[in-house]
Structure 1
Amino acid sequence: MTPASVVGVGHLWPPRDLTEGEAPDARFTLANERTFLAWIRTSLGLVAAAVGLEAFAPSVAPDAVRTPLVVVLLVVAAGLAGYAFRRWLSVEGAMRTGRDLRGSPATIVLAALIVLAGVVLAVAMLVT
């Protein structure tokens, strides 16, 4: 009995994206992993920004602005971590089966959210 089947996920792991087709060149797999880790690093940066804003900058903006901004940063960070895994798996599967790689709309969304958070924080600082 494998460890995965002991905990009840034996039918889920490894997913089809990691078992179909032929294994790609290790350099491409490692590059895909580095990209995944970069997304995770960005997610951790958003968590750090949220914690820093809440813990160390209570006078920067009023609670009515700061708390929702912190919550949004944390939710985006969690979503980004989940997206990073799905993207890694998708790219790995595409490399194994020869499918085209799709672009990532997450970069535009993430950049827009960070700009929006910065603008909200700047306006809140000017108002107070």
Structure 2
Amino acid sequence: MSIQVSRAHDIVDKALDYRAIRQDMIASNIANADTPFYKPRDISFQDTLMAKKAEIFNDEKNKLALAQTNGSHIPLHEERDTSRATTFYRDGHMARNDGNSVDLDVETTEMSKNSVMFNALVMARKKSSGIFNSVIEASAKTS
């Protein structure tokens, strides 16, 4: 059984999961750099994390509601599903003669950025847990 130190730990845990998935996708893109007609894939999870944050910290109270004062007004469009991360094909790179559009410079740069973010999340989680543990230890010493 794990103790929840902070409500933000759920977001950090989810972000770590998505960063690990993204690292695997980028590694797959690099591994398929010579596969004909391969298009690099990526994952977008920022909207999912923002929705989770709004849920955890009850940000709905700050949301501006749109009033529809007349029946002939165009109704508010439904927001897209943010319960899952979105996988997409990274576009914008020129395909080679074999139809492959993997750019190793882009992939290695994205992998490095993702690794830095993953490590930053791990360190933030460790620091947060360390503060919690030091408070418990200090409380134990005073009793």
More strand, by proportion: 2
Q: Name the TM-score, length of structure 2 as normaliser.
A: 0.37
Structure number with greater Rg is: 2
More helix, by proportion: 1
